[in-house]
Structure 1
Amino acid sequence: MEPLSPLADAATLDGLATSAAPPLELVCPAGSLPALKAAVDNGASCVYLGLRDATNARNFAGLNFDEAAIANGIGYAHARGCKVFMALNTYPQAANPGLWREALDKAVDLGVDAVILADPGLMQYAATRHPQLRLHLSVQGSATNYDAINFYREQFGIVRAVLPRVLSLTQVQQVIDKTPVEIEVFGFGSLCVMVEGRCALSSYVTGESPNTHGVCSPAKAVRWQETPKGLESRLGGVLIDRYATGENAGYPTLCKGRFDVDDEENYYAIEEPTSLNTLELLPQLMKMGVRAIKIEGRQRSPAYVAQVTKVWREAIDQCRVAPHRYAPRTGWMASLDQVAEGQQHTLGAYHRPWK
């Protein structure tokens, strides 16, 4: 390559700065076949999905895929250059570990591009039984440092890790610098106040842990009731929130309820309803070497998937062409806030002003 002229324009420099790195992948949720198609049609690089059972961490009634739907979805995605990942990211139970192994075998037979795993035993099964299968470490695996991630690589051949949403950008960079494993981070969607994979809040009132039954706040434990004081939401009989007339009501989870504190004040004591939105951090994430941006929301509608995917596809493409001139458009932010929890957004743990 000839040396660059001192007068080379910024666009040329930007392009050269990003051309050597593999493209940043946009990994989008698919809770149904229409959602999968919405993601693919609007520019997803990859979609992730799960089976209709406890092997995945979004085991809600009416969501997820049977074998016929997965085969249909894989065909649709692959024909359009999009990859398909299967989430098998809950923990096999002693009474029936075979369910998880059968699901993994099924994923291979169906031709998924990768499986997303949390349990080391299932990783060992995959590495032994299907050595050519691409393995991703789920956020449910709770790996927050490079030693943990490198352990999973050395023992089971993990090639990508999804980081929990509790790390600052500095900490993400420290992980990337010390592991050859591809790093995927959450870019948009619901937040979690816990290190994913270590939360048992809902099990206290429902008897079912997200990591074993595949769902936080299972629908069968949710109750809505109109009362003289307003619309009440309950989880396992526990009052989670009370809404005034015209107030937007959110799905009841313990971490996002409003509670009386010291009998003096009623507020979101653990976490306010707000969504992570890292559009403004895209140039930094690309420069750091993040391999993929994950969009949360397999429990959301196809319209949500289409809207979020479209915005992020445009943003990633613009940032890749000219990272030094990139800035989130007002329209992008407004579009994402429309589908955000509480219609508001945050940078979450990525930005810690107290540090």
Structure 2
Amino acid sequence: MEVLAPAGNLPSLKAAVDHGADAVYFGFRNATNARNFEGLNFSESEAAAGIAYAHSKGVRANVVLNTYPQGQDPSIWYQTVDMAARLKADAIILANIALLDYCHQRYPQLPIHLSVQASASNAEAINFYQRHFHCVRVILPRVLTVQEIRQLRAQTTVELEVFAFGGLCVMAEGRCFLSSYTTGVSPNIEGVCSPAREVRFENHGDRLQTRLGGVLIAEYAQGEEAAYPTICKGRFRANEQVYHVMEEPGSLNVLEMLDEVIEAGVSSLKIEGRQRTKSYVATVTQVLREAVDAYYADPRSFRPKTKWLRTLNATSEGTTHTLGTYQENWQ
């Protein structure tokens, strides 16, 4: 089981490597990755230094190229594929079919990981990408139960990567129509479902209201902790009640089901958060490293330690966590 850590910059990459990651993933400082934020990501020289550092420690370095080329000038997306191959990245993470075909035809030696942005969640889709583009791994959307992951493992030879900790998205990854409708922009292109310029925190008497694109997301009483306004974690009126209809604020954390996830045949545990700090990367990577090692040391008696959960909760949204759909019996 691989522990895969995010790297929003070179210091975070080194922190991930130094705290036990088996692999890291990062994007370039352009529109080709969905975390193209101010002060984040890598230049070509920084990427070369990061890959060299990772390789010197026996750690793999994967390049993220998970947005879709735009019609006016798609050249930067193809040039970024060329750059990843030139720098000898260990894998490239792609979603767009044209880019998948380009990479497969031009650089057959460069392993392709299918991005979660492709939303491949069934065996037929996964095997299609393997058959046509030789994808060696698929990053699964955060909407599958452990039983469904186990079934996929039996139906495909492609490696399965799952999100283990961080932000939880219960929509089609990067293509949330609710967010697009509210903000007028694509989450995939913006790299975030709630762009900061569309977010408002407003006081109304003794109540705090949060809005996204002018739409009321939630209302909080004095002293109540307010979550960052995202559609899926808002409070809405349904059946004459106001509550978190889709998902309560909290970070995904599969630690309590780690043994089940490993035994389902997953190849990689992915930590979300290229936009997070170096401290976050170091802390979460170290906890997951310890947990995975503890499982393999004695699988039958594995139990998540209280200190691990406490440490991860301290980095979580709302200082709490959820098992998301891993624990749901949706079948």
Q: Same fold (TM over 0.5)?
A: yes
Note if contact 1:145-1:175 (Cα within 8 Å) is conserved in structure 2: yes
Q: Provide the secondary structure at the position in 1 that maps to 2:61.
A: strand
| CA deviation after TM superposition for structure 1 residue 119, in Å | 0.9
- The separation in 2 between residues aligned to 1:122 and 1:82, in whole angstroms, is 26
Q: Does 1:88 align with 2:94?
A: no
Deviation (angstroms), 1:181: 0.8
Residue in structure 2 matching 1:335, options 311, 318, 326: 311
Pair 1:181–1:220, CA change in 2 (3 A)? same
Give the structure 2 partner of residue 107 of structure 1.
Answer: 84
Q: Is the 1:142–1:198 Cα contact (8 Å) retained in structure 2?
A: no
CA distance in 1, matches of 2:213, 2:31: 19
Q: How does 1:104-143 map to 2 (within 5 A)?
A: 104-143=81-120
Contact preservation (8 Å) 1:93, 1:212: no
DSSP 3-state at the match of 2:92: strand
Secondary structure at 1:186's aligned position in 2?
strand
Which residue number corresponds to residue 322 of structure 2? 346
- In structure 2, give the amino acid aligned to 1:298: R
Give the residue type in structure 2 aligned to 1:77: A
Q: Secondary structure at the match of 1:247?
A: coil
Aligned to 1:32: 9
Matches within 5 A, 1:209-288: 209-261=186-238, 265-288=241-264
TM normalised by structure 1 equals 0.87
Question: Where in structure 2 are there 5+ consecutive unaligned residues?
Answer: none
For 2:116 and 2:30, the matched residues in 1 are separated by 19
Which residue of structure 2 lines up, in the alignment, with residue 309 of structure 1? 285
Q: Percent identity?
A: 54
- Which residue of the partner structure matches residue 184 of structure 2? 207
Other-structure match for 1:174: 151
Distance 1:63 1:251, change over 3 A: farther
Give the Å deviation of 1:251. 2.4
**Structure 1 match to 2:269:** 293
The aligned length equals 331
CA distance in 2, matches of 1:99, 1:186: 28
| Runs of 4+ displaced beyond 6 Å | none
Moved more, 145-154 or 202-211: 202-211
Indicate the larger mover: 110-119 or 251-260.
Answer: 251-260
2:3 aligns to what SS in structure 1? strand
Aligned to 1:71: 48
Counterpart of 1:312, as a letter, is L
Structure 1 counterpart of 2:164: 187
Q: Distance in 1 between matches of 2:52 and 2:99?
A: 26
The question of whether the paired residues in 1 share the 8 Å contact of 2:176 and 2:193 is answered with no
Taking a change above 3 Å as real, the CA distance of residues 85 and 310 of structure 1, as seen in their structure-2 partners, is same
In terms of mean alpha carbon deviation, does 308-317 or 73-82 score higher? 73-82
* Structure-2 residue corresponding to 1:4: none
Residues 1:245 and 1:111: Cα distance change in structure 2 (over 3 Å): farther
Superposed CA RMSD: 2.0
**Partner SS for 1:132:** coil
Q: CA deviation at 1:354?
A: 6.3
Equivalent residue, structure 2, for 1:6: none
